[in-house]
Chains A and B, each alone.
Chain A
């Protein structure tokens, strides 16, 4: 795998509190990578380690194949959870300042920023002072300031917090577009819906440890663990007889309008899936047979509770 960033056995202990415990993960180039975990799990600490804002007690951060340096950090676009902008400065002036600080020329920065401002519908804020903006508005400005110099690696800490659903959608689209143009995006979030929608891969951190890593599709399929939802018409007793020995029932059968019944089952062995379908087909009238793919929300809760 071509990875842009590798974190190898990173640990960090603050006085009496272990913030990261031997965390390793690998972020594929050109992907959108979700960093999930409950509050206080260590997500922000991990991000700060990557940005060299926190020095780990042990472990390494490998960026583009070698250990990360201060100069690399300046090529990362970072949007912290607690947004930081100069309150007294005007929006446009401030955005140009940040862009130039990251190496853009003044004219280049101004032109590119105007593009971004019109794309996010905030063109008329250019002359406003930051202190006059609402939280969500300031966040849009911060987002633009983070991405305008087109860094290869972008790190967003909770990018969706404070946004209304419309702007969340807008932001998601922009993040996807950034990836399509070749950037790698890491973001931490509690918003599981956004993970399902835009993340290619995730890592779930709980109690300072990496408890789950991988591609979102794989994780969801695995977490489903050969559970299926079957919709049929016919006697429930016949259904139970048919699958007996090959599959176990999950919960009671549920009646649907129109005389259909829904039953969730678990098939232990992949080899039994086809025979079960065959047997069921003989006894009842099958309407649908569908693998249950759990939501990231379920996976999150089960993983954190240790029941995955």
Chain B
């Protein structure tokens, strides 16, 4: 067994045997599921909380009140007092069981500002919005009624056009029939998820390399280690060891999340959410098709591996150069900057997935894992992906070489925090 594999095995065993590994491996998917389920649960809980509003309609014939329609959010009730007697209404409807009193001015149809809402508790945005919409509709109806046109309702409903979905096809193949269906919304959502995943993996596991190197330097284990193997072996052992831990953890999560979403989520989400997305079902079926998914998983795998190795090499170099986590801060910031830039570019993909900056950021290894992964759901030419991955892996070897040179000197340095100049000198040192 050669030295690197011994080092990798040690790193892997130590980390996997830690309690924190077992806890985070189990808790993280639970947390993610909770985050996914919580909004729908909150929405379900919110619906039952209907607000009651007493209406003082001062218009002639109370036309507005008649048009107001109670719904799930708000229930309108005509106040049982004279519309002009606000103080009586305030006394009658001042209790907590009422959301408030809606005062509609007599000239509301011409003067929309003569509308008042007196509430008993703190304002609820959705309720206020519902009230506004209802009053607006009522006024519109009242105004239309003035024209006295026959069949008004029918004309209106006929003229009221609403496009709920647009079938977007990709103009890539000659054959009209086989054009792939695509959607910017779903692509964007998937892109964001993939990009954030890469971001999370780079930061979390990359900084594990950083703290692990610093810890060994502090505990002086490195002094013993460097007289037993070369610094480069040590560095690669650490990076690959943590990579294996990351791989194991990601696989466990993938299995947990997939099995949960296959069995638990449909049951939980049945009805409401699933039917809402009916228009997008075709796109879902495309995105979940075997060929697309296997390609995506391959790309995801390559970017996770390449991106992690690339960043881990940088983190290892920084860890070797400093004595404590505080000193690492400045260098850490520099490493983080391209990742944060990548996130910013990723948000920009929605507007233009093929813009120059997006293209270059998906090629440059500092940003390519995050940006390219976010771009892929929009459809990226295969050559671009291939070049980007090749550049990433070549850059890893380059970065590992540079990091190795810093590491080789850094691990022996104690005390003074190195400057950028020092790091440069270490790289050039024979």
Contacts and interface: CB of A to CB of B under 8 A. Distances in A.
Interface of A: 48, 51, 53-54, 70, 73-74, 76, 78-80, 82-89, 97-98, 100-102, 142, 145
Contact of B228 (A48, A53, A87, A101): A101
B293 interface: no
Nearest to B409: A55
A123 to B, nearest CB: 23
A78 B221 CA distance: 12
Interface string B385-417: 000000000000000000000000000100000
B222 to A, nearest CB: 7
Contact of A74 (B216, B219, B229, B412): B229
Nearest to B411: A53
Interface of B: 1, 3, 6-7, 10, 14, 17-18, 216, 219-230, 412
B224 A84 contact: yes
Contacts of A76: 227
Contact of A83 (B6, B220, B225, B227): B220
From B14, B18, B224, residue with most partner A Cβ within 10 Å = B224
A55 B6 CA distance: 27
A76 B229 CA distance: 11
A70 B230 contact: yes
Given A48-B412, A74-B228, A101 B3 contact: yes
B412 A54 contact: yes
Nearest to B221: A84
Contacts of A70: 230
From B1, B17, B228, B230, residue with most partner A Cβ within 10 Å = B228
B219 A80 contact: no
18 contacts: A48-B412, A51-B226, A53-B223, A53-B226, A73-B227, A74-B227, A79-B224, A83-B220, A84-B220, A85-B219, A86-B219, A86-B221, A87-B219, A97-B10, A101-B6, A101-B225, A101-B228, A145-B224
Given A51-B226, A88-B17, 14 more contacts: A51-B227, A53-B227, A78-B224, A79-B224, A80-B220, A84-B221, A84-B222, A85-B219, A85-B224, A86-B14, A86-B221, A98-B228, A101-B7, A142-B224
A84 B219 contact: yes
B295 to A, nearest CB: 40
A85 to B, nearest CB: 6
A82 B228 CA distance: 16
Contacts of B223: 53, 78, 80, 82, 84
Nearest to B430: A55
A157 to B, nearest CB: 9
Nearest to B416: A15
Contacts of B17: 88
A97 B223 CA distance: 15
B18 to A, nearest CB: 7
A87 B215 CA distance: 10
A203 B123 CA distance: 85
Contacts of A53: 223, 226-227, 412
A146 to B, nearest CB: 8
Nearest to A103: B3
A82 B220 contact: yes
B18 A88 contact: yes
Nearest to B412: A53
Contacts of B227: 51, 53, 73-74, 76, 78
Contacts of B3: 101
A98 B7 CA distance: 10
Contacts of A83: 220
Contacts of A86: 10, 14, 216, 219, 221
A80 B14 contact: no
Contacts of A54: 412
A51 B223 CA distance: 10
Nearest to A50: B227
Contacts of A87: 219
Nearest to B3: A101
